[in-house]
Structures are given as structure tokens and as C-alpha cells.
Amino acid sequence: MVPTLIVLGLLVIGFVYFSQVYADVLWYNQLGFLEVFVTENLSRIGLFVAAFLIMAASVYFSLRIAYRSRPIYAPDSNVQDNLNRYQAQLEPIRRLLMLGIPIVLGAFAGTAASSQWERMLLFFNSESFGQTDPEFGLDIGFYVFTLPFLNFLLGFLVSVTVISGIAGVLTHYLYGGIRLEEKGLFTSRAARTHIAVLAALFLILQGVNYWLDRYATVTSSSGKWAGALYTDVNAVIPTKAILAAAAVIVAVLFIVSAVIGRWRLPVIGTAMLVITAILAGGVYPWVIQRFQVVPSEFSREEPFIERNMEMTRAAYGLDGVQVTDYGVEEVPQEGALNEDGETTANIRLLDPNLVSDAFSQLQQFRQYYQFPEILNVDRYEIDGEIEDTVIAVRELNTAGVPAGWINEHVYYTHGYGVVAAAGSTVQPDGRPAFIQSGIPSTGLLGDESTFEPRIYFGEESPEYSIVGAPEGATPLEIDRPQTEESDQEARSTFQGDGGPVVGNFFNRLVYALKFQSTDLLLSDQVNDQSQILYDRDPVDRVEKVAPYLTLDSNTYPAIVDGRVKWIIDGYTTTADYPYSTQQELQSATVDSLTATGVSTALPAERVNYIRNAVKATVDAYDGSVDLYAWDDEDPILKAWQEIYPSSLQPYSEMSADLMAHVRYPEDLFKVQRELLARYHVTQTQPFYSNNQAWAVPVDPTLEDGERAVKQPPFYLSLQMPDQESASFSLTTPFIPFVPEGQEPRNILYGFLAADGDAGTGEDGVKAETYGALRLLDSSGQDSAVGPGQAANLFNSDTEVSQELNLLRQGASEVISGNLLTLPIGGGIAYVQPVYVQSSGDSSFPVLRRVLVSFGEQVGFAPTLAEALDQVFQGDSGAETGDSENVGETPNDPAAPPAGEEPTAEPTEEPTTPAEPGTGDPAADLRAALEEANAAIQEGQDALAEGDFAAYGEAQERLDQALQRALDAESRLSGASGDAGQ
């Protein structure tokens, strides 16, 4: 029975393993990327087998040779007696050990080697960079593709040699070929020959290693600057060549000793090699560094610093930055924004990091729907004009699904609809101005007749769903509410090709094992047309079909060609680019959003070369993945195209609609801005002294007590001073660099914008300006206001702080939106939306005010248009997205508290504003403030007495008083503006 049970157990384990492989084959085949799965696994298997055979054979023959050459007779001694006992104990299992030890060691070696499949594939499919390194004159492809594989192969062979040598020496010792005697160490001729051959082989490999180490100096990051520096070029590289030759000579001496039977020469040679390695490899470079480089560091290192500057900019795509000196105007002039109409019309007031709650309260409709915590910014053509848009999809919320296998995996399978709001305006009451909303999905972006709104694949999709049914079958899937007000749910059946078929028993068994679900195997809800949808996160899908890519952390949805598509940016990277400074991706992409956990940074991987090589899309309905070779000049991507010839499409296959929605990737921009803060300097002397270095400013909107982290970049449509028209760009400011622990100088020194408009209106044609990096350099001025100073101006302004502090005293919370930096009016303007949220359970932030600064002037008004006019002497000359809202803010004291969902069903029509007060606005403001203070005091007294009913009444009076104060302040501001005109 025992053998039978063992066999059965092995069969079960084998079937389980086979089922996982078979499930993967079905998944990749259904998606059309089977070659990725096959190529990767065949490469892994090939490496495993090759490494296994080499290691196992080497160890086996080393053991075998040592055993067969053992002395037949050995002198008696206590040591030999002990060895004889060991031999007697091992003899019954000797043959098993002679096979088992090589097999075990071979398995370990094969497993380790199989992880290097990418290096192997790139080595055999290497491409030329068309650029050489400045030290050896070799193509950069040698360092990226060839050298890493040679280092792996050399390290593996050294391991084989060392392990085989250890195995042979132990066997010789166990069987008397090596033994300790009174006269010293005795070795048989066979043992000496065996050891000499292995030592010679080890030394030859060490010589090759020394030779390759010469090339590794140009990718080293051990010095102050990356690459081979003065000491490397003048001491390390020559001595490595000498050591390589010496190692080969000593290897020859070992071969000679194996023939003549004398150890004196190889022992002397080995000692000389060790001494040479210490002196030439360690002491000599230290002497050169200490006595030649340190006293005259700049003059010695200048040519190598220049190499580092040039190669780093090339490796990170910074060699084409368009730098413009920008003299910042600090005094706002009337009509100064007349020439900035495209920028001011698209100044984004809707903060995508704050309005998720507003989307949820106004557009969720069911507990089984949800929106992401951070929404995305894209642009769409509205009435013939391109407008920035805050967009999200209504995904399925599995926490809101009734418990039960059928509910979780058969009935509730997908989300529904796209919700989008204009970025540059809001409704008069401060709520988002939706351009796409509702159920059924309708709006300016289309409806169910023009695009497929169902979201089967998304960032919050269930682990797996069973979909599909025979034609004519009753639909089972909960599709959506029939209407926004309806209590009834419409049902539907998935009509696409989204996952492997589980209609037959075998496939159901395979996936029942994969997901450990007997329900999947036994349920009668699974029919012969059923498909199983899993691995539904767009990032997970792209990672599986393109394992060679590092993916951007910001995935966003777009309506493209009648479908909702998730768009993902993929990067090719390496850490082996000569003379390029390494960056850790995680630290470079951390900002205030990633630090608070609402967004994610890239993994902790060190690179010194990065390209946005691929644009990937995932269809939200059927999960289909398309990979487009975006940077078709990237040699690393070209190599992967050779490896996977049918996986990537040229970007010429992209539709014009898709081209219009790709954007400059955020994580790449973060990495580039981190490098550009120092590498914008083009002269070696200031670069060396670091006296012109910049830094990314700390996010000034963080609350007290939050960790000081970098401000995130922002997507904006703006026209840079040297541009003919506005473009959708990713932007960031720079301030002077200050060493850690010192107070930063919040002066604006630079402003960077990356052009993200790729569309030309034609299929497969990329705009020539896409990816252009435009840098405004204002470092010649020490008075240009930086983001931190702008935030301080807002907080220290008497009128602003008085009104904000008043709002904070009540039941409402004041929330600062993102602080946008804008190069307009010949200077730098800062715009920050101010949101107010009540304390109700169903509350959400609504836009109540806009802060603007230009130079030292501050504007604070219900609309951006009014705030700009306040700053620019009563007339900015700007046309803003919220110009039509001027004078339309709600003044009804009985209106619901700011940001609280009304009891009636919300509509997109603005609430009719109440008539403004007809009395003196200053007197009305004073009276409202007095009433608010009285209500606060009454509320505190009621709370102290435990009278919660009275406390609630006091809070209602406080809300009404605050609303009247805001209305009075608005009329007062309007009167001031009219007087100024």
C-alpha cells in the first residue's frame, strides 16, 4: 500500500502542477500572447538543463576521478583508522551519493541559472546603440547586452570549478589521496594532477574576470561621479590587465607542475599573484587617488565629469531639453493675460485628488459601484475645443456585493459607465460640471450607442467571474440600474472573448484547482459557453504579456474608438549604460501622493537608462491587450522585438483617436526632473561645485505634521512662452538646492514642461513635438516667488486668513487643492482651488473659492476670473473656464451645507441662486460674523451641558451665518472690482 500511496501522491502533485501550467497556456493563448509564455519557459528550461548538466557532470567526474585514483594501500595511523571507519559507513550508499550529490548541486545551479533567462535572450538578440563609450570605444550595446551575460557565465563557471574542486579534494582526503603525516602534507600524484588542473582552470577564469573588470569600470557608481574616473583610467584599468596576464601565467605554472610533479613554481606564482593583487589592485589606486587626485580633484576629474554629464543626459533623454531664459515679471499689469488665452481657459480648478467623494456621492447610485481614490486627467474635444477633463470609470465594488459564490462570481461581474467632468470649471454651487454621467451613460463623450460602457477589466475587478451563455439564454449578470431612480436592475450577458472557455469538465476542473473552488466545478450556472475572466487588473495583464517592461504607476481610462481603454506606459531600463548616473526608481518617483498611500511609486530598482518604449492598452470590456512600440529607436526594445516578433505592433498601427489620448508618462517625468535638477548645468565647473543645483519643492499643501515630500507633477494644457499654441503638458517647478537639514529657499529657479500631445488627427502619425522638454530658467533672479512662498502669501493675507479661519471654526472643513504653477503674463502665477466640506456623513468637497498670486499680489474670489481680475488691477484680460459663473454663486442661507448631498436626487442643472442682499455688504458681513460667533458660543455651551439637540440647532444657525458671510464677502469683492474698473 505504501508504494501505491506514494505513486498516487506523486500523480496528484503532478496533475496539480500540470493544471497550473495548462491554465496559463489557456490564458496566454486566449489573449494571443502564447509566444511570450513559451519563449520565457523554454528559455528557463534550457538554462536549467544546461546549468544542471554542467554542474552535475563536473561534480560527478571530479568525485569519480578522485575515487578511482585513490591509493590502494595506505599507511596505518589514527587518522587513517578514522577515515577507514567513515569509508566503511559510506560504502553502502557510496554509489547513491556519487549520483545524488551531483544531482542536488546541479538542481541548485539550474534553478539559479534559469532566473537569468532575460540576460541570455538579450545576449543572443543584441542590438547596436550606434554610440560608443568614450573610454574603450566599444558600442554601448556591448555593456547593455554582452557584458552582463558574460559576467553571469563567468560567475557560473567559477562556481562550477570551485564546487567541483571542493568535492574532489574532500574525496581525495577521505580515501587517502591527501593526508597529514609527520613530515607534512602528503598528496598522491593523481591528487596533485587533479588539483593542479582545477586550480589552473580557476586561475584562467580569474584572469578573464580581471579582463572584464576593466570594462565594468565605465558602468561603476562607486565614485563621486558615475563611470571610469582618473584613478580608474590611470591605475585600475592598467593593473587589471596586468593581473589578468599574471593569472594566466600562474595557471600555466600549475599545468607544468601537474606534469613535472613539483609545486614550488605554482606556489611561488600564487603568492606573487596575491601580493600583486593587493598592491596593484588596492594600494596603487589608493596612492593615485590620495596623492594625485584629491589635491587637484577638479583638474584631474574634469574630462571624466564631462563624460558623465553628456552620457547621463543621453541615457535619460535629457540631451534635447529646450532651455529658455525667463525673466520673471513680478508686478501684475492690467490686461497682462491677453496673450495667454489658451492657458487661462484650461487652468484646472477640479483637483483629481480631492473630487473622488463628489463623484461617489453624485454618480455612484449603487453600493456595488465605486470610484478610485484619485481620478485621472485627460483631454477631450468639446464643441470643437480641446478641454482638460477629470475622468473615472464606475467600477464594481466587491465589498458591496451580497455574499455568496453565485453573487460574487456569476451575477455581479462588471462595473458600468464613464464619468467625466470639465477640469476648468464647476457648477455655480461648486460641484463638478459633469460632461459624461448618469445611468445609462450619457453626455458629450457619447452614450451606449457610440461606446461600450461596461467595465469587466479594471483596477478593482473581482478575482474571477464566470460569464457567457448560449444564444437565447436568460441573462444572469447584473448589468446596471434600469435608470438612476429605478430600484430594478437590468441584466445582460457578456458577448466578447475575454477569457478561457470553461464549458468542458476538464477545464472546469483545472480552474477549480487554480482558484480552490468546488462551486466552480459543481455549479449549474456554468454552461458550455462559459468563460472565466481573471487577472483583470490592466497592469497585471500587461506585466504578464510583457515581463521585460517596467510599468508606470498611473494607469488611466479613455474612450477610444467606441471602447473604454486602459492606457499604460511601459519602460525599458538598464543599469549598464556607461558613465550614466544611477537612480533608484522608487525614491525618484516618491511624492506627496505616494507618501500618503493614495498612489504608488515604482519598485526599488536602480537604473541608469530609461525609455518610454511601449504604449499599452487594455480593453475594459474584453481585456484584450495591445502593445505598441512607441520608441522604435530604442535598442533594448528592438532586441525584445527580435525575441517576441509577434507581440508588439508598430505605433503606426495606432488609431488617431488613441494617439489623441496618450500622454507623457508621469513616472518617467519624475525620474527626469530628479536628474535635471542637477544636470541642467552644462559647464563642468559649476556642475562640480554644485552651486547651480536645483531641487523639486516640497508640496506646500501638506498639513502640519505630515512628512515633507516632493510636490507631484501636474497635467495641464498650457502654452509655454516659446510655443505657438497650447499643448497638454506635464509640469513641475524647481527651487534652489539646499543641503538636507537646512531650510529651503522657496524661490522659483526653473519650470519644466513635457509636451504630451502626440495626436495629429491621422492614424499612426505621431506629433513631432511630442516629448519635447521645455525648461524656463529664471535662476538669474532671486526674487521670483516659489510655490512655498506663494502658499505663505495665501496663508498670511489678512482677508484670506480671516475668511478661512472663520470657515474652520464651524462644522465645515477647508481643504486646499493642488497648487498649480503657471508661466503667464510674463511672470509666474499660482492658482489654488479652495474646497469646503461639511461634517455630514454624505458630504463631499465642493469648490468655494480660488486663490491666485502673481508676484506679491493675492486674489481670493468665488471664481478664477474674479480672482485674476483682483490681482491684475481689475482686468486680467483672461478668458477662464469659469467666467460664466461670475455672480452665480449660491446665496440662499437655507441651501444644504457645502458639499453635502441634498435629499432630492442630484441633477446637473445649477441651483437657481437667491437674490443677493440689498443692504450694505460690509454691514451684512459684520452682522453675519457676529451671529456666527454667537452660534459658536451657544453650541459650546450646549455641548458642555450635554444638550445635543440645542447643539445641532446652533450648528444649523452657524452654517446659515457662514453662508451669509460668504455672500456678503462676495458682494463686497464684486463692488471693489467694479470700483477698480
Query: What's the mean pLDDT in 686-692?
Result: 92
**Residue that wins the pLDDT comparison between 912 and 705:** 705
Categorize the per-residue pLDDT at 981 as very low, low, confident or very high, splitting at 50, 70 and 90.
Answer: very low
pLDDT at 890 (0 to 100): 52
- Amino acid letter at 183? K
Instruction: Please tell me the least confidently modeled range out of 11-20, 335-344, 894-903.
Output: 894-903
Query: What's the mean pLDDT in 344-354?
Result: 93
In the predicted model, is pLDDT for residue 721 greater than 80?
A: yes
Query: Is it true that the peptide bond before 440 is cis, omega within 30 degrees of 0?
Result: yes
Asked whether 364 and 370 are in contact (CB, 8 A), the reply is yes
The residue whose grid cell reads 483583470 is 536
DSSP, collapsed to helix, strand or coil, labels residue 719 as coil
Q: How far apart are CA 546 and CA 345, in angstroms?
A: 40
User: How many other β-carbons are positioned within 10 Å of the β-carbon of residue 452?
Assistant: 18
User: How many other β-carbons are positioned within 10 Å of the β-carbon of residue 12?
Assistant: 10
Grid coordinates in use for 569?
506606459
Q: How far apart are CA 654 and CA 615, in angstroms?
A: 10
pLDDT at 787 (0 to 100): 94
In the predicted model, is pLDDT for residue 980 greater than 80?
A: no
pLDDT at 176 (0 to 100): 78
**Residue that wins the pLDDT comparison between 91 and 470:** 470
DSSP, collapsed to helix, strand or coil, labels residue 105 as helix
Helix H or strand E segment including 615 = strand 609-619
Kindly report whether the global pTM for this prediction surpasses the value 0.85.
yes
Rounded to the nearest 10 degrees, how much is the dihedral formed by the CA atoms of 42, 44, 47, 49? -70
Nearest to 956 by CA among 894, 864, 904, 881: 894
Q: Where are the alpha helices (DSSP H) in 69-93?
A: 78-90
User: How many other β-carbons are positioned within 10 Å of the β-carbon of residue 35?
Assistant: 16
Residues with Cβ within 8 Å of residue 509, at least 6 apart in sequence? 19, 521
Asked whether 389 and 433 are in contact (CB, 8 A), the reply is no
Helix H or strand E segment including 467 = strand 464-467
Give the pLDDT confidence of 928-976 residue by residue, as tens digits. Answer: 777 777 777 776 666 566 665 666 677 677 777 777 777 776 665 554 4
In the predicted model, is pLDDT for residue 669 greater than 90?
A: yes
Asked whether 418 and 556 are in contact (CB, 8 A), the reply is no
Q: How far, in Å, are 339, 753, 754, 874, 918 from residue 345 at the CA level? A: 12, 18, 19, 18, 32
pLDDT at 947 (0 to 100): 63
Query: What's the mean pLDDT in 537-541?
Result: 96
Give the pLDDT confidence of 935-946 residue by residue, as tens digits. Answer: 777 766 665 666
Grid coordinates in use for 32?
494571443
Query: What's the mean pLDDT in 834-841?
Result: 82
Query: What's the mean pLDDT in 599-619?
Result: 94
DSSP state letter for 869: H
Asked whether 826 and 854 are in contact (CB, 8 A), the reply is no
Nearest to 760 by CA among 618, 616, 649, 652: 652
Buried b (16+ CB within 10 A) or exposed e, 201-227: bbbbbbbbbbbebbbbbbbbeebebbb
pLDDT at 75 (0 to 100): 53
Categorize the per-residue pLDDT at 186 as very low, low, confident or very high, splitting at 50, 70 and 90.
Answer: confident
pLDDT at 975 (0 to 100): 47
pLDDT at 944 (0 to 100): 61
pLDDT at 973 (0 to 100): 53
Query: What's the mean pLDDT in 37-56?
Result: 96
Instruction: Please tell me the least confidently modeled range out of 72-86, 715-729, 780-794, 830-844.
Output: 72-86
- Torsional class of 438: left (φ above 0), alpha (ψ -120 to 50), beta (otherwise): left
In the predicted model, is pLDDT for residue 915 greater than 60?
A: no
- Amino acid letter at 835? Y
Mean pLDDT of the chain: 88
Angle among Cα 846, 850, 856 to the nearest 5 degrees reads 155
Residues with Cβ within 8 Å of residue 1, at least 6 apart in sequence? none
Q: How far apart are CA 229 and CA 294, in angstroms?
A: 12
Instruction: Please tell me the least confidently modeled range out of 539-543, 906-910, 924-928, 939-943.
Output: 906-910
Q: How far apart are CA 325 and CA 637, in angstroms?
A: 36
Query: What's the mean pLDDT in 910-924?
Result: 48
Helices (H) and strands (E) in the chain, counts: 30, 34
- Report the DSSP pairing between strands 773-777 and 322-325: parallel
What percent of the chain is modeled with pLDDT above 70? 90
In the predicted model, is pLDDT for residue 326 greater than 60?
A: yes
In the predicted model, is pLDDT for residue 570 greater than 90?
A: yes
**Residue that wins the pLDDT comparison between 954 and 321:** 321
Q: How far apart are CA 286 and CA 304, in angstroms?
A: 18
Categorize the per-residue pLDDT at 904 as very low, low, confident or very high, splitting at 50, 70 and 90.
Answer: very low
Give the burial class of 351: count Cβ atoms within 10 A of its Cβ; 0-12 exposed, 13-18 middle, 19 or more buried.
buried
In the predicted model, is pLDDT for residue 687 greater than 50?
A: yes
Query: What's the mean pLDDT in 160-188?
Result: 82
Q: Which residues pair with 853 in a beta bridge?
A: 830, 858
Give the pLDDT confidence of 630-650 residue by residue, as tens digits. Answer: 999 999 999 999 999 999 999
Categorize the per-residue pLDDT at 267 as very low, low, confident or very high, splitting at 50, 70 and 90.
Answer: confident
Give the burial class of 933: count Cβ atoms within 10 A of its Cβ; 0-12 exposed, 13-18 middle, 19 or more buried.
middle
Q: How far apart are CA 68 and CA 57, in angstroms?
A: 16
Q: How far apart are CA 434 and CA 359, in angstroms?
A: 9
Helix H or strand E segment including 58 = helix 34-68
